[in-house]
């Protein structure tokens, strides 16, 4: 039997605000997720046992990977013995704040749910056990607000835009970023309107990790200056980093910026994508 091909999209966090640290060590947040047209690809077919293979630029430990954990959680929960051969073609950089691993897990859970007739609500419960942003990739929303630790979702308007992404070639570990932020106390979120794109909001694209990341990695100031020269509508940090993105409202401007910067920004990777 031939492989079935599944597209596994990246996301960006258009905004990210940390509201409080919970007693369990996790943080309450308010974020706006946006799926974009940068994809990993999962090739899946029935197999006598479960096999997982990655086509990636770096080694990915299989048993810690979210696709493996999703399969184990799903089959243990429902007593399913079916095996699958899964090949993951990685295009989304790792540790970049683009949700590649969560997207792979969510995409695979959706596939398993459709194959075995499992309701979406149950899949979402499984997804929460794997990671805070896995449910976003199980839901069909192209854009959503995330509350709680990011797993409580509310649909958000899918404002169309083009995004220039710059991955600087190194990871920022999420756990380190939250520790370093050392957030204390509690605050209410600044809630973005659904009537205009968040990058048009007077407060801009709030990311509570931006000052920390720019302080730890001063080169981000240079990256942002390069983006600003292209006439971007706004510039943001996705998640806790390390990907910086610029927002354009038309394809011509985005393509021109991509052509200008792809040979200028060295040491990393630059991508052009749009809202899904």
CA distances for 211 relative to 206, 216, 249, angstroms: 11, 9, 26
Long-range contacts of 210-219 (CB under 8 A, 24+ apart): 210/237, 212/177, 212/180, 212/181, 213/172, 213/177, 213/237, 213/240, 213/241, 213/242, 216/180, 217/168, 217/241, 217/242, 219/168
Nearest partner of 68 among 112, 105, 20, judged by Cα: 105
At which of 123, 155, 187 does a domain end? 155
Q: Do 90 and 142 belong to one domain?
A: yes
Q: Do 71 and 12 belong to one domain?
A: yes
pLDDT at 275: 98
Q: What span, in angstroms and rounded, lies between the C-alpha atoms of 219 and 21?
A: 29
pTM (two decimals): 0.96
pLDDT at 201: 98
Q: Do 220 and 255 belong to one domain?
A: yes
Backbone angles phi, psi at 137, to 5 degrees: -85, -10
Q: Do 145 and 28 belong to one domain?
A: yes
pLDDT at 106: 98
Mapped onto helix, strand or coil, the DSSP state of residue 39 is strand
pLDDT at 115: 97
Q: Do 263 and 169 belong to one domain?
A: yes
Mapped onto helix, strand or coil, the DSSP state of residue 260 is helix
Contact 187, 224 (CB under 8 A): no
Q: Do 121 and 138 belong to one domain?
A: yes
Q: Do 111 and 212 belong to one domain?
A: no
List the structure tokens of 94: 């790792």
Contact 243, 11 (CB under 8 A): no
Residue partners of 131: CB distance under 8 A and separation at least 6: 66, 101, 102, 105
Q: What span, in angstroms and rounded, lies between the C-alpha atoms of 58 and 43?
A: 19
CATH number at residue 35: 3.30.230.10
At which of 155, 176, 194 does a domain end? 155
pLDDT tens across 115-171, in order? Answer: 999 999 999 999 999 999 999 999 999 999 999 999 999 999 999 999 999 999 999
Backbone angles phi, psi at 240, to 5 degrees: -95, 15
Positions in the chain short of pLDDT 70: none
Q: Do 112 and 232 belong to one domain?
A: no
CATH number at residue 263: 3.30.70.890
pLDDT at 89: 98
Q: Do 22 and 70 belong to one domain?
A: yes
Q: Do 45 and 111 belong to one domain?
A: yes
Q: Do 66 and 122 belong to one domain?
A: yes
Please count the structural domains in the chain: 2
Q: Which domain holds residue 114?
A: 4-155
Q: Do 178 and 212 belong to one domain?
A: yes
Q: What is the dihedral of CA 195, 107, 38, 55, to 10 degrees?
A: 170
pLDDT at 246: 98
Quote helix, strand, coil % in the chain, to nearest 5: 30, 30, 40
DSSP 92: S
Region label for 182, one of left (φ > 0), alpha (ψ between -120 and 50) or beta (otherwise):
left
At which of 155, 188, 206 does a domain end? 155
Inter-helix orientation angle 251-261/219-228, to 10°: 130
Residue with tokens 């990210």: 16
Active site residues: 11, 133
């Amino acid at each position: 039997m031939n492989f079935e091909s599944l597209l596994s999209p990246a996301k960006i966090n258009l905004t990210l605000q940390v509201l409080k640290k919970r007693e369990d060590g996790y943080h309450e947040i308010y974020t706006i997720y946006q799926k974009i047209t940068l994809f990993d690809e999962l090739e899946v077919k029935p197999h006598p046992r479960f096999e997982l293979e990655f086509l990636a630029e770096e080694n990915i430990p299989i048993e810690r990977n979210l696709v493996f954990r999703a399969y184990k959680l799903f089959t243990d929960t429902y007593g399913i013995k079916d095996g699958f051969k899964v090949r993951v073609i990685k295009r989304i950089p790792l540790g970049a704040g683009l949700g590649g691993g969560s997207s792979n897990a969510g995409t695979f859970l959706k596939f398993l749910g459709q194959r075995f007739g499992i309701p979406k609500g149950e899949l979402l419960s499984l997804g929460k056990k794997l990671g805070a942003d896995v449910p976003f990739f199980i839901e069909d929303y192209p854009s959503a607000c995330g509350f709680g630790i990011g797993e409580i979702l509310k649909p958000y308007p899918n404002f169309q835009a083009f995004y220039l992404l710059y991955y600087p070639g190194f990871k920022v570990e999420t756990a380190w970023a939250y520790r370093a932020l050392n957030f204390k106390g509690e605050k209410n979120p600044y809630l973005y309107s659904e009537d205009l794109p968040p990058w048009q909001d007077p407060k801009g694209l709030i990311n509570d990790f931006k000052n920390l990341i720019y302080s730890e990695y001063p080169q981000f100031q240079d990256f942002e200056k390069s983006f600003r020269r292209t006439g971007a509508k706004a510039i943001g940090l996705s998640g806790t980093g390390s990907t910086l993105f610029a927002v354009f409202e038309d394809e011509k401007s985005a393509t021109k910026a991509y052509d200008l910067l792809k040979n200028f920004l060295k040491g990393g990777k630059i991508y052009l994508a749009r809202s899904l």
